[in-house]
Amino acid sequence: MIPIKNRKKNLEATVDEMRNFGFVYIEKYAPSKQQLRTYLLKKYLKINIPNVTKKNITDLIDVVLEDLEKTKFINDKFYSTSKAKSLIKRGSSINKIRNYLFLKGVKDKYINETLSDIRENNEDQDFFSAIKICKKKRIGPARDENNRPLFMKKDLGILARSGFDFETSKRVIDIDKNEYLKIINLL
């Protein structure tokens, strides 16, 4: 009987400890649910707790995550919205935002809601994000007029790697310098 009580005490202590680690991580990083799950799993697989298996640890992590979700410490919908807004400010394309949220473990339902909100608020978000990238990297319309034709392929490649489609990239690259400056002043 003594080992059973001891095991139960270890599991209860582990849950409290896990919850505290979760609070500290949430306070520092504001993660998605999947990021927190990964962090706790890595943390507890390193620690050797007697009489506790990997299955027990994953079950405990699920219990802690449900508790944190009920108390609204973790919210993937809020996470996807806030990350999308910060990525838009940096000039990320909608494709890049989608991939980023997918890699962070956010559910497709929340990703689609966030992206539809972005499209609803601004139909041509990719165009303005591409303009921000041009300003930041000094490519396309931000280049000297004499060098623009020489670097057109390179600029298109930079925009493509940033997640913009060919039509948007071509439209941004072909903008007149004066029109580009007007748009930059509006942003």
Contacts of 101 (CB under 8 A, 6+ apart): 80, 83, 84, 110, 111, 114
**pLDDT digits (tens), the chain, 187 positions:** 344 444 455 666 678 888 999 999 999 999 999 999 999 999 888 876 666 778 888 888 999 999 999 999 999 999 999 999 999 999 999 999 999 999 999 999 999 999 999 999 888 899 999 999 999 999 999 999 888 989 999 999 999 999 999 999 999 999 999 999 999 998 7
3-state SS class at 155: helix
Domain chopping of the chain, boundaries:
2-70, 76-121, 125-186
CA–CA separation, 159 vs 183, rounded Å?
A: 18
